[in-house]
């Protein structure tokens, strides 16, 4: 099977007044790909990601996500993607089971599907014993892994991960990437942002945004060659230093 | 005299069932003029520790001092002498950049002009926005304003709680250069971070996890204690390679590290040749196998697993 494009972005632009947050970006993401979305603070990543998730309309350009048009079918996009951010994902005052039940309901799963998915997830994450514990009582690392699984409850085609490993301990950070690899090997497309440059190396392809534009796009190997850098940190430094639009 | 001392500090928070232990009994010292890093993930107890040392919270047990003053008895005096930048943005969003800075200077009976030299390097970067309300600044600019406000009364000890969290790799580098400059002006700096790579920029660090200090030393001292030969291993199909290595009997640990895997063998005499042969039999190719020096992150993980074991 030739890889299907699950995200297709063409000349996408978003302006706020006279400020161009996202400036004419074009790229595709294939099914099952781990796509790293990098950029300095203020480069326009969040704005671009909000558009791709159907949360904000572009000023101009075209994009389709999971087979749906950004302008016409934003609601269908929301049903077909998963989203997880470092800042918010689970309700801390609900138990593990209640969170799964809640998100299952939001994503429109049947009771039977919710039951099946919960069992599968609790086994995979070894959370069986904690099923009736409040989420806030779980160590952060477990919470992050659970957030990821919850974002995957409805078997979305694409999962958007916004700095999923920020503040996480180094072992859990690596376990988290194992979850990413497993999801990708099952055909889920993973769209991920990170400030950890070692994690950029784990992506199939990486894009780097500078001043609202996508200034680099390719596999880590290609980018390192193109910028004569020994690692992705080196590639990132070269590009981000060029930025004229500073976050401060 | 040490700039900071913590002696058997313990802190718990009430919770249903049994109380949550935020800080086990911890002790450490920070010398005058030192750049001291507290390195650990979220939930390690970093913020609790900062709040105790800046006199904003009382410990359950133990004693601590800052600039030779007791955190309980002399809290008023300590507050005049420390600068504290909390992890959460805590300036007045409805005041302008300049008003915020002036406000903090006035609180400490000084003026922007009097201590301008100290904040100059940082403040010039946001000065063009001085009429803008602080709430309308971008993340990076808020961080620089917060640092300026924490410095404007010329503190002897500066506490920075996760100043680089969520900040991109380039801006993080620049921020650490600022810290080095401040240290050069004689200020003691205690800084926390979840980024292991920043540990090497400190004079000494405490590695913290779940309320415990796992080790305190210079970055070099910590690395020297790693105690095993660490191998960098590369081949085609890195993810499969990791799984294969973890299955092998000779392998004690294998963690992905960017472009390579870091591997420790159970037995120091285990031969990488043998491992390589067995991997080749499994169809891996394009090997690169060589011993490397451990990083703080390697040490952190080793300390974590040896504690849990």
**pLDDT over 50 (residue A248):** no
**pLDDT over 80 (residue A247):** no
Is residue B140 located within the same domain as residue B236?
no
Note whether residue B125 is domain-resident.
yes
Note whether residue B307 is domain-resident.
no
Supply the pLDDT for residue A15: 96
pLDDT tens profile A77-131: 999 999 998 776 799 999 999 999 999 999 899 999 999 999 998 998 888 888 9
**pLDDT over 70 (residue A246):** no
CB of A201 within 8 Å of any CB in chain B?
Answer: yes
Note whether residue B244 is domain-resident.
yes
Please answer whether residues A205 and A33 qualify as being in contact, where contact means their C-beta atoms are separated by less than 8 angstroms.
Answer: yes
Is residue B215 located within the same domain as residue B235?
no
Note whether residue B190 is domain-resident.
yes
Is residue B8 located within the same domain as residue B147?
yes
* Interface with chain A: mutation pick from B18, B19, B20, B41, highest number of A CBs within 10 Å: B41
Mean per-residue pLDDT over chain B, rounded? 93
- Whole-angstrom distance, CA of residue A131 vs CA of residue A141: 16
* Interface with chain A: mutation pick from B241, B258, B262, highest number of A CBs within 10 Å: B258
- Band (B148; pLDDT cuts 50, 70, 90): very high
Task: Report, as an integer, the average pLDDT of B15-43.
Answer: 93
Chain A: give the shortest CA distance to residue B5, in Å.
Answer: 26
Of all residues in chain B, the percent with pLDDT exceeding 70 is: 99
Phi/psi-derived region of residue A30, left when phi > 0, alpha when psi is between -120 and 50, beta in every other case = beta
Token pair for B53: 């040392």
Task: Kindly determine whether residue B166 and residue A166, on different chains, have CB atoms separated by under 8 Å.
Answer: yes
Task: Report, as an integer, the average pLDDT of B233-259.
Answer: 93
Q: Give the bridge partners for B37, in sequence order.
A: B191, B205
Task: Report, as an integer, the average pLDDT of B181-210.
Answer: 95
Note whether residue B309 is domain-resident.
no
CB contacts < 8 Å between A and B, how many? 102
Task: Report, as an integer, the average pLDDT of B134-141.
Answer: 84
Of all residues in chain A, the percent with pLDDT exceeding 90 is: 78
Note whether residue B90 is domain-resident.
yes
Supply the pLDDT for residue B167: 84
Chain A: give the shortest CA distance to residue B260, in Å.
Answer: 9
Exposure letters A10-42 (e unless 16+ CB within 10 A, then b) = eebbbeeeeebbbbebebbbbbbbbbbbbbbbb
Residue in chain B closest to A45 (alpha carbons) equals B168
Per the structure, the complete domain to which residue B159 belongs is given by 4-219
Supply the pLDDT for residue B275: 87
**pLDDT over 50 (residue B300):** yes
Is residue B245 located within the same domain as residue B202?
no
- Total number of domains constituting chain B: 2
Is residue B166 located within the same domain as residue B207?
yes
CB of A234 within 8 Å of any CB in chain B?
Answer: no
Note whether residue A147 is domain-resident.
no
Q: What share of chain B is helix, strand, coil (3-state, %, to 5)?
A: 35, 30, 35
Note whether residue A148 is domain-resident.
no
CB of A197 within 8 Å of any CB in chain B?
Answer: yes
Nearest residue, CB atoms, A40 vs list B15, B168, B297: B168
Per the structure, the complete domain to which residue A195 belongs is given by 5-88+157-241
Is residue B203 located within the same domain as residue B266?
no
Give the pairing of strands B212-217 and B204-209.
antiparallel
Task: Report, as an integer, the average pLDDT of B49-53.
Answer: 98
Note whether residue B29 is domain-resident.
yes
ipTM of this predicted structure: 0.88
The region of weakest confidence among A157-166, B135-144, B291-300 is: B135-144
Q: Give residue ranges of B with CB < 8 Å to any A CB.
A: 15, 40-43, 125-126, 129, 137-144, 165-173, 194, 196, 209-210, 239, 255-259, 297, 300-301, 304-305
Note whether residue A224 is domain-resident.
yes
* Interface with chain A: mutation pick from B197, B214, B240, B256, highest number of A CBs within 10 Å: B256
Supply the pLDDT for residue A5: 95
Note whether residue B298 is domain-resident.
no
Is residue B21 located within the same domain as residue B85?
yes
Is residue B189 located within the same domain as residue B78?
yes
Residue in chain B closest to A246 (alpha carbons) equals B140
Note whether residue A167 is domain-resident.
yes
What residues of B are in contact with residue A166 (Cβ under 8 Å)? 165-166, 194
- Total number of domains constituting chain A: 1
Q: Which residues contact B271 (CB under 8 A, 6 or more apart)?
A: none
Mean per-residue pLDDT over chain A, rounded? 92
Is residue B179 located within the same domain as residue B151?
yes
Of all residues in chain B, the percent with pLDDT exceeding 90 is: 77
Is residue B212 located within the same domain as residue B279?
no
DSSP 3-state of A29? strand
Task: Report, as an integer, the average pLDDT of B98-103.
Answer: 96
pLDDT tens profile B199-217: 999 999 999 999 999 999 9
Note whether residue A31 is domain-resident.
yes
Query: Which CATH number covers residue A77?
Result: 3.40.50.300
Query: Which CATH number covers residue B130?
Result: 3.40.50.300
Residue ending a domain, choose from B174, B200, B219? B219
Nearest residue, CB atoms, A247 vs list B171, B210, B255: B171
The alpha helices in B84-213, defined as continuous H runs, are 97-107, 116-123, 139-151, 169-184
Note whether residue A125 is domain-resident.
no
Query: Which CATH number covers residue B281?
Result: 3.30.70.100
What residues of A are in contact with residue B258 (Cβ under 8 Å)? 197-202, 231-232
Token pair for B234: 């590369």
**pLDDT over 60 (residue A1):** no
Is residue B58 located within the same domain as residue B119?
yes
What residues of A are in contact with residue B146 (Cβ under 8 Å)? none
Note whether residue A76 is domain-resident.
yes
Supply the pLDDT for residue A42: 83
CB of A241 within 8 Å of any CB in chain B?
Answer: yes
Nearest residue, CB atoms, B138 vs list A169, A199, A247: A247
Note whether residue A187 is domain-resident.
yes
Task: Kindly determine whether residue A240 and residue B168, on different chains, have CB atoms separated by under 8 Å.
Answer: yes
- The closest of A202, A167, A207, A161 to A181, measured between CA atoms, is A202
CB of A168 within 8 Å of any CB in chain B?
Answer: yes
Task: Kindly determine whether residue B169 and residue A171, on different chains, have CB atoms separated by under 8 Å.
Answer: no
Chain A: give the shortest CA distance to residue B157, in Å.
Answer: 25
Residue in chain A closest to B139 (alpha carbons) equals A247
In DSSP notation, A77-101 reads HHHHEEEEESS--S-TTSBHHHHHH
């Amino acid at each position: 099977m030739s890889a299907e494009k699950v995200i297709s972005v063409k000349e996408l632009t978003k302006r706020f007044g006279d400020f161009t947050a996202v400036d004419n970006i074009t790229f595709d993401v294939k099914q099952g790909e781990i796509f790293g979305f990098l950029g300095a603070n203020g480069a326009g990543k969040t704005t671009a990601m909000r558009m791709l998730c159907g949360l904000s309309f572009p000023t101009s350009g075209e994009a389709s996500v999971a087979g749906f048009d950004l302008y016409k079918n934003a609601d269908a996009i929301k049903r077909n993607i998963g989203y997880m951010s470092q800042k918010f994902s689970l309700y801390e005052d609900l138990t593990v089971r209640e969170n799964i039940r809640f998100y299952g309901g939001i994503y429109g799963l049947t009771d039977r599907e919710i039951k099946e998915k919960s069992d599968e997830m609790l086994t995979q994450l070894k959370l069986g014993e904690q099923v009736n514990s409040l989420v806030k009582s779980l160590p952060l690392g477990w919470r992050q892994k659970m957030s990821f699984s919850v974002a995957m409850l409805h078997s979305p085609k694409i999962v958007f991960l916004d700095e999923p490993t920020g503040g996480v301990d180094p072992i859990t950070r690596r376990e988290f990437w194992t979850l990413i690899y497993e999801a990708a090997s099952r055909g889920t497309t993973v769209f991920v942002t990170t400030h950890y440059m070692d994690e950029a190396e784990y992506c199939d392809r990486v894009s780097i945004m500078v001043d609202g534009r996508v200034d680099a796009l390719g596999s880590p190997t290609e980018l390192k060659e193109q910028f004569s850098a020994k690692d992705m940190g080196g590639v990132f430094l070269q590009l981000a230093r060029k930025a004229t639009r500073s976050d401060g | 005299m040490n700039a900071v001392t913590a002696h058997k500090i313990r802190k718990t928070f009430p919770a249903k069932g049994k109380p949550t232990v935020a800080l086990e009994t911890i002790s450490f010292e920070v010398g005058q003029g030192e750049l001291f890093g507290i390195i650990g993930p979220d939930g390690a107890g970093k913020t609790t520790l900062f709040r105790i040392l800046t006199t904003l919270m009382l410990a359950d047990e133990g004693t601590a001092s800052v600039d030779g003053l007791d955190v309980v008895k002399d809290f008023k005096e300590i507050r005049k002498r420390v600068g504290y930048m909390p992890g959460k943005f805590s300036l007045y969003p409805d005041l302008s950049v300049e008003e915020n800075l002036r406000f903090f200077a006035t609180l400490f009976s000084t003026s922007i002009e009097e201590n301008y030299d100290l904040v100059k390097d940082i403040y010039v970067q946001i000065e063009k926005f001085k009429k803008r309300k602080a709430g309308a600044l971008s993340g990076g600019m808020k961080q620089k304003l917060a640092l300026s406000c924490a410095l404007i009364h010329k503190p002897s000890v500066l506490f920075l709680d996760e100043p680089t969290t969520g900040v991109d790799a380039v801006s993080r580098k620049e921020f650490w250069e600022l810290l080095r400059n401040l240290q050069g002006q004689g200020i003691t700096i205690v800084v926390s971070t979840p980024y292991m790579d920043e540990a090497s920029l400190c004079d000494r660090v405490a590695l913290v996890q779940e309320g415990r200090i796992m080790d305190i030393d210079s970055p070099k001292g910590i690395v020297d204690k790693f105690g095993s030969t660490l191998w960098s291993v590369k081949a085609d199909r890195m993810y499969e390679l990791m799984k294969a290595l973890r299955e092998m009997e000779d392998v004690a640990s294998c963690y992905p590290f960017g472009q390579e895997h870091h591997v420790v063998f159970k037995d120091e005499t285990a031969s990488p040749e043998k491992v390589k042969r067995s991997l080749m039999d499994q169809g891996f190719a394009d090997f690169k196998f060589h011993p490397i020096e451990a990083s703080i992150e390697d040490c952190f993980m080793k300390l974590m697993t040896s504690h849990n074991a």
